[in-house]
Structure 1
Amino acid sequence: MSLEPSLDYSSLANNIKAWGKSLGFQQVGITDVDVSQHHQAFLDWLEKGYHGQMSFFERNIEKRLHPEQLVENTLRVISVRMNYLPEDAHFASNLEQSDSAYISRYALGRDYHKLMRKRLKQLGEKILSHCDTLEFRPFVDSAPVLEHAFAEKAGIGWTGKHSLTINKDAGSWFFLGELFVNIPLPTDEPIEEGCGTCAACISICPTQAIIEPYKIDANRCISYLTIEHQGAIPEEFREPMGNRIYGCDDCQLICPYNRQAPTTQEQDFSPRAALKNLSLIDAFNWTSDMFLKATEGTAIRRIGIERWRRNVSVAMGNAPYSNEIIACLKAALEQEHSPVLKEHYQWALRQQEQKGASMPGDAIPIIDISRQQARLIRSIKKGLPRDA
């Protein structure tokens, strides 16, 4: 244990929270490294294959379960949250516009990983200037860390039934980060779980990926399918995807705690112009260079142009009947060499042609959205005035 006899760790902890807020974190909590209460649930989830193709969960399991093995001499974890919902957020309205691309809110602005890691490093350096024996290491989705478990123990919020951290005042529109330290700071207390009997997130999930409270089957999750999953998207999940081409926010949009969620002051999280009100046809027609330019500095870039087109083609298949979409898909199919993309283009074409065949000759296509999606939109309009 690293001790400085003359140091008042209680005062230091209070200062750390103040310094964290001055760096742009809305909340800072401190916990020990014991997350044993989450061990069995994580191991069971892994054993059942609910992590899909995310093989990184299979590596460094002991370090994930025992943080002191990840960073030697770690005694405490400083958990932080940073809000990312901007004041001009109108992203949810895209769910009503079936010919527009829906992108998860967190990905519309700058990639949060580097921003938060830099701030956490600055926090560590500030602590070091007051504590010579400090050793620290920041993490933001960059290592085997049970971030939600730490946030829960540090009093940031509780783990909701959709497995995300919820704060009663801030909802869940925030990012989490951690600073591992080797000093015995006083710890914070967890807060009371607030979901109660509410199961809105479970019932609204388009693919029923929340198989039971607090347990997600990633293989069914639209966020996983559009971001992490490589290869063909299983057909059973394509129609439920609707126009969601990168991620899915449904379980957060329906959550009562998000109805009055606070906005962020971080301008970097404001939606990029190229990603706002993006039509499916425009998104599909991006060249590799256009994709790289439009997604520069965002989390979207990591999926690459092939997965991007795969996802957009599914949304095009789900869109209202359109001669332009059909022509676009046919032209792309003639030039495409990827078996995966060809298969998705063909599926989307069949979906469009079936819609066309069922329409009277002079009929105007009707936008058809799922009952869950319609319910979600009604809830947004009632409870989320920023996105109405």
Structure 2
Amino acid sequence: MSLAQLKDELIAYSKTIGVDKIGFASADPFLQLKDRLLIQQELGYQSGFEEPDIEKRVQPGKLVEGARTIISIALAYPSKMKDPPKSTREDRRGIFCRASWGKDYHDVLRERLKKIEEFLEERLPESRTISMVDTGELSDRAVAERAGIGWSGKNCAIITPEFGSYVYLGEVVTTIPFEPDTPITEQCGTCNKCVDACPTGALIQGGQLDSNKCIAFLTQTKNFLPDQYRKKLGNRLYGCDTCQQVCPENKGKDFHIHPEMEPDSEIAKPKLIPLLTMSNREFKEKFGHVSGSWRGKKPIQRNAIIALAHFKDKKALPVLIDLLKKDPRPVIRGTAAWAIGEIGSLEEHNILNNAKNAEKDDDVVREIEKGLNLIENKH
């Protein structure tokens, strides 16, 4: 069998296992990406979640000796929820980003990639392969761009002509020398909507992101959220979709192809107050299968507290006061104190004062003082 035939067979097979788009790229070093990554590093724009060794990120040959091809796959996910629950005054709700709506995409893509690896190994047993999704060394987006899956948008997402940017990406590095596909020309043109709409100014310019300002990154951090970003968070619990929502290429794009990606609305858009008292076990049982749970419950609970402050939800005060007095985690106590200040009045001023006198943690004391100032400024 020729390599061209094998490629055609693999493309046909990929459709039968639920791959929406497949592309082939050479495994040559990503030299342009290397330059970009070095600049990002110099500017301090990296999030810290990336592979620290830049050479591994740009040299596929360091991952598989004799690597010749990278096979990129894309799976489309939904952008709209069927019958989404309303966030009401009685029951305020938070939101998980669309990429965390269904089953954890790492698991979904790994299943597909494993089948592709097995398909290739069965036909060419001497070939070597390795696959990865998101947390691997390579840049999924750089691979997808080179493989003709889509172009790299100004919002730093891969934009496909068929599905917009609502796609999950993964890749297989192989020693099989497939004919590479042609990259798609960048089509953002003069459009700058994503850069203009970014809530925190994290998109410095088209294609350049300061990860440390990005709400998607900030929602995953575990410490106190810096003051300047709290009001920007809104009711986001995990991730941010703003730069995708404003993109004209995503207009009308909503695909419900894969049942495992369908959101459970009570998980994707959960009630905020019940989140605050969940045990670890309850959190794992309810949210453990979605990608947004990977950092555990603390960041989600911190974000839920900030969301309740955003809504000025007075019904949350009893549980926030309880967290301030009893929660063992300084970040939760302190964020609760700040939120009490955002929501409360003179009655809560006394509660915060008493808590300040009893508090041993300096960071929490500072947050209590912020809460006290917020109440004082209202009166």
TM-score of the two chains, using structure 1 as the length reference: 0.84
> Does the aligned pair in 2 maintain the 1:140–1:176 contact within 8 Å?
yes
Is 2:181 the partner of 1:188? yes
Alignment match of 2:10 (pick from 2, 16, 26): 16
Secondary structure at the aligned position of 2:113 is classed as helix
Q: In structure 2, what is the Cα distance between the partners aligned to 1:99 and 1:356?
A: 23
Alignment match of 2:112 (pick from 94, 119, 132): 119
Q: In structure 2, what is the Cα distance between the partners aligned to 1:68 and 1:12?
A: 22
CA shift, 1:283, in A, is: 2.1
Two-structure CA RMSD over aligned residues (Å): 2.4
- Does the C-alpha gap of structure 1 residues 57 and 90 become closer, same or farther in structure 2, counting only changes over 3 Å? farther
- Superposition pairs for residues 30-69 of structure 1, below 5 Å? 30-34=24-28, 35-54=30-49, 56-58=50-52, 60-69=53-62
Alignment match of 1:340 (pick from 331, 335, 338): 331
Equivalent residue for 1:154?
A: 147
> Does the aligned pair in 2 maintain the 1:169–1:257 contact within 8 Å?
no
CA shift, 1:219, in A, is: 0.9
CA shift, 1:98, in A, is: 9.6
Q: What percentage of residue pairs aligned between the two structures are identical?
A: 29
Q: In structure 2, what is the Cα distance between the partners aligned to 1:244 and 1:88?
A: 16
CA shift, 1:260, in A, is: 2.0
CA shift, 1:149, in A, is: 0.7
Is 2:302 the partner of 1:307? no
CA shift, 1:214, in A, is: 0.4
Structure 2 regions of 5+ residues with no counterpart?
Answer: 349-379
Q: Which has the higher contact order (CA 8 A, sep 6+)?
A: 1
Worse-superposed segment, 93-102 or 31-40: 93-102
CA shift, 1:354, in A, is: 6.6
Secondary structure at the aligned position of 1:252 is classed as helix
Secondary structure at the aligned position of 1:72 is classed as coil
Equivalent residue for 1:294?
A: 286
What is the aligned length?
347
- Does the C-alpha gap of structure 1 residues 39 and 93 become closer, same or farther in structure 2, counting only changes over 3 Å? farther
Alignment match of 2:224 (pick from 232, 244, 248): 232
Worse-superposed segment, 296-305 or 194-203: 296-305
Amino acid at match of 1:46: Q
Secondary structure at the aligned position of 1:179 is classed as strand
Q: In structure 1, what is the Cα distance between the partners aligned to 2:15 and 2:332?
A: 46
> Does the aligned pair in 2 maintain the 1:226–1:245 contact within 8 Å?
yes
CA shift, 1:131, in A, is: 2.3
Q: In structure 1, what is the Cα distance between the partners aligned to 2:289 and 2:254?
A: 24
CA shift, 1:275, in A, is: 0.8
> Does the aligned pair in 1 maintain the 2:222–2:298 contact within 8 Å?
no
- Does the C-alpha gap of structure 1 residues 222 and 91 become closer, same or farther in structure 2, counting only changes over 3 Å? farther
- Structure 1 stretches of 4+ with a deviation exceeding 3 A read 86-98, 354-357
Amino acid at match of 1:21: K
Q: In structure 1, what is the Cα distance between the partners aligned to 2:144 and 2:336?
A: 42
Q: In structure 2, what is the Cα distance between the partners aligned to 1:12 and 1:264?
A: 30
CA shift, 1:233, in A, is: 0.9
Equivalent residue for 1:284?
A: 276
